[in-house]
Amino acid sequence: MQTGTSPTARALRTLEILRTRPGTTAEQLAEKLGVTDRAARRYVAILREAGIPVDSVRGPHGGYQLRRGTRLPPVTFTQSEALGLVMAVLDGRPAATDPGDLVGSALGKVIHALPEGIGRQAAALREHAAAAPDPGAAYADPAVTSALVDVIASRRRVVITYRSEAGNQWQEEVDPWAVVVRRARWYLLCHSHRANAVRTYRIDRVLAAEETAAGFRLPEDLDPVAVLEENLGTGWAYPTRVLFDAPVERVAPWAGPSMGQLEPVGVTGERCVLVGSTRNPAMYAQEWLAAVPFAFHVEGGTELRDAVAALASRLGTAVSGPASGAGQG
């Protein structure tokens, strides 16, 4: 818990300190809160006024402590923490505004357990914040995700049942390396024994995960995010090769690893080439290449060239006629 600057935040921090370190003196409490001894005693008084029994023990080993048998909620939040939690949940899952949603039900229980003042603000935020639904949202099954995390922690191979976007279904044994969250998508980064290669699978498409008795060794110095990004740019059905009239260092911020491998061209390196693959040439052209602010030439493959040509034709048609309202003032 972070120490806030408001009296409420510091009072909650005081409660946390006394719960974990009974016998804390006023001087020690003041040091941890970053306030004077007098202010520290005031925060103890605030807790007492709120009905929380805080006893004072005199003597060389004395200090403040919660009365024996005091029952407190397992988690306490400041108002900023509670509101930040609600905002994060709604940002990642707009459906959580509905109490009938799985995450919405859990969020409601958290809000209900908060102190009245903090809980009222959190409930109001949840009720009156309009969260736009994501038409492309795909949520991973918590049970499947938990099973995958368990085998990652125990270093056990797992047999997954997977259904592709096209509806094809299969089973395979994999070494589960990591669970990676990328742009609201949950991925399993693993080594596939079926393909004898690194693979990334959408966890929302994993139908089942069954632990095996076989173990595995995690690659040394594994960077799951970097490997995932690199893997997302390779192994797809349609090859891509794009030449840019700019050096690597200028193009790199616009060409993520999932677009392919970026390499310099020629001795001077004034140009660079992006080599990879995609499952969706139209998306690659319209959402990725169109955003790069440098001249480029699609050298391959055929599907990507057709997608870029179609995009260019559509944009050209949009400005081929006379401008509407020209000459009007």
Task: Supply the pLDDT for residue 101.
Answer: 85
For the sheet with 169-182, list strands across it: 197-202, 185-192, 169-182, 156-163, 206-215
Task: Supply the pLDDT for residue 2.
Answer: 39
Average pLDDT over residues 108-122: 85
Band (pLDDT 50/70/90 cuts) for residue 5 is: low
- The Cα 174–Cα 194 span in angstroms is 8
Task: Supply the pLDDT for residue 1.
Answer: 35
Average pLDDT over residues 93-108: 86
Task: Supply the pLDDT for residue 229.
Answer: 87
Give whichever of 44-53, 250-259, 308-317 has the largest mean pLDDT. 308-317
Average pLDDT over residues 178-186: 88
Average pLDDT over residues 69-94: 79
Band (pLDDT 50/70/90 cuts) for residue 3 is: very low
Average pLDDT over residues 68-88: 78
Task: Supply the pLDDT for residue 264.
Answer: 95
On the CB side of 293, how many CA atoms lie within 13 Å of its CA?
A: 2
Average pLDDT over residues 170-197: 94
Average pLDDT over residues 157-184: 93
Q: Looking at the predicted structure, is the pLDDT value of residue 268 above 80?
A: yes
Task: Supply the pLDDT for residue 21.
Answer: 86
Band (pLDDT 50/70/90 cuts) for residue 325 is: low
Q: Looking at the predicted structure, is the pLDDT value of residue 144 above 70?
A: yes
**pTM, 2 dp:** 0.65
12-21, 32-41, 187-196, 310-319: which range is least confident on average?
Answer: 12-21
- Tokens 């995450």, residue located: 103
Task: Supply the pLDDT for residue 61.
Answer: 62
Which domains, ranges and CATH numbers included, belong to the chain? Answer: 7-66 (1.10.10.10), 79-128 (no CATH), 142-222 (2.30.30), 238-318 (no CATH)
Q: Looking at the predicted structure, is the pLDDT value of residue 159 above 80?
A: yes
91-100, 250-259, 270-279: which range is least confident on average?
Answer: 91-100
Average pLDDT over residues 200-216: 96
Band (pLDDT 50/70/90 cuts) for residue 218 is: very high
Average pLDDT over residues 11-37: 88
Band (pLDDT 50/70/90 cuts) for residue 51 is: confident
